[in-house]
Amino acid sequence: MYIDLDSASPSQAYFHMIQTLVPRPIAWVLSEHGNGSYNLAPFSYFTSVCSDPPLLMLSIGHKPDGMPKDTLSNIEERRHFVVHIAHSDLLEPLNASSATLAAGDSDVTQLDLPTTDFTGFTLPRLADCRVAYACELYEVQHIGRHRQALLFGQVHSIFIDDAVARHDPQGRIKVDNEQLDPLGRLGASEYLVRGKVVRRARPK
Lowest mean pLDDT across 79-83, 99-103, 114-118, 127-131: 99-103
Q: How many Cα atoms are found within 13 Å in the side-chain-facing hemisphere of 49?
A: 15
* Class at the top of the CATH hierarchy for domain 23-199: mainly beta
pLDDT: is 102 or 46 the higher one? 46
Question: Which pLDDT value is given to residue 27?
Answer: 98
CA distances 74 to 29, 34, 58, 79, 152, Å, are 11, 7, 14, 7, 14
Any idea where the domains of the chain sit in the sequence?
23-199
Closest CA to 150 of 138, 132, 135: 138
Q: Are 99 and 42 in contact (CB under 8 A)?
A: no
For residues 39 and 25, what is the distance between their CA atoms, to the nearest angstrom? 20
Contacts (Cβ under 8 Å, ≥6 apart) of 68: 60, 62, 149
Signed CA dihedral, 66, 80, 21, 101: sign only: negative
pTM > 0.95: yes or no: no
Q: pLDDT per residue over 32-78, tens digit each? A: 999 999 999 999 999 999 999 999 999 998 877 778 899 999 999 99
| Identity of residue 19 | Q
Question: Which pLDDT value is given to residue 193?
Answer: 94
For residues 104 and 46, what is the distance between their CA atoms, to the nearest angstrom? 24
For residues 29 and 38, what is the distance between their CA atoms, to the nearest angstrom? 10
Three-state SS letters, 11-29: HHHHHHHHHHCCCEECEEE
Q: pLDDT per residue over 122-181, tens digit each? A: 999 999 999 999 999 999 999 988 789 999 999 999 999 999 999 888 889 999 999 999
